[in-house]
Amino acid sequence: MRIKSFLSFLFCLFLVSACTATEQTPAAATAQPASAYPTPEWGSLPEVFPQSVKGYELYSWQSGPDWLFTLITATNRNKTFEELTAPGNEIQEDGMVKITVGSEQDLLILLSRLPQKTEVFWSGIDLSGEVEEGTFYFSFPPDDLLDRIQTRADELGILLHTLK
């Protein structure tokens, strides 16, 4: 029972922070189309991304029919909505990674470049029917897509955690 209470608390905390982030970023209320996000130049990125003590965070959102995904190094600092949804990819000298992709195939390539046993925390919430259609927020893709990504992460030895 304590685990359910704790998970409920985390869910409520996430919901409050997601709503707060949306209220603070009215300019980001409309998702950019998937075409605004360049496909990573895989040849210029490391075959294996840096190990991260805190793992990585994964965010996803829908833009029209497309799903977009941002993988970013987990840290103790809060990331801004704009930072997570901005087009562009980078791996900094200190090992900080931020890569956004606009397809399932690119996300699977991205996950394949993580070291085995890397923990990835996928944040999202389903507000369907609770917010105006077209509202831009972090959510999970349909179950079939989520299941394919989870299955591939398992095959790669990636520890993918979701709240769904």
Confidence at residue 113, expressed as pLDDT on a 0 to 100 scale = 96
Task: Tell me if 4 is assigned to some domain.
Answer: no
Least confident window among 48-62, 72-86, 101-115 = 72-86
pLDDT band per the 50, 70, 90 thresholds, residue 131: low
CA distance 102 to 32: 11
Task: Tell me if 14 is assigned to some domain.
Answer: no
Share of the chain above pLDDT 70, in %: 74
Task: Tell me if 48 is assigned to some domain.
Answer: yes
Task: Tell me if 11 is assigned to some domain.
Answer: no
Residues 163, 58: contact at Cβ < 8 Å? no
Confidence at residue 95, expressed as pLDDT on a 0 to 100 scale = 78
> What's the Rg (C-alpha) of the chain?
15
Is residue 149 predicted with pLDDT exceeding 90? yes
Range of the domain at 49: 36-162
The domain tally of the chain equals 1
Phi, psi torsion values for 154, nearest 5 degrees? -60, -45
Q: Across-strand partners of 143?
A: none
Task: Tell me if 27 is assigned to some domain.
Answer: no
Task: Tell me if 31 is assigned to some domain.
Answer: no
Is residue 153 predicted with pLDDT exceeding 90? yes
Task: Tell me if 49 is assigned to some domain.
Answer: yes
Is residue 58 predicted with pLDDT exceeding 70? yes
Is residue 161 predicted with pLDDT exceeding 50? yes
CA distance 53 to 35: 33
Confidence at residue 134, expressed as pLDDT on a 0 to 100 scale = 64
Supply 100's token pair.
């956004």
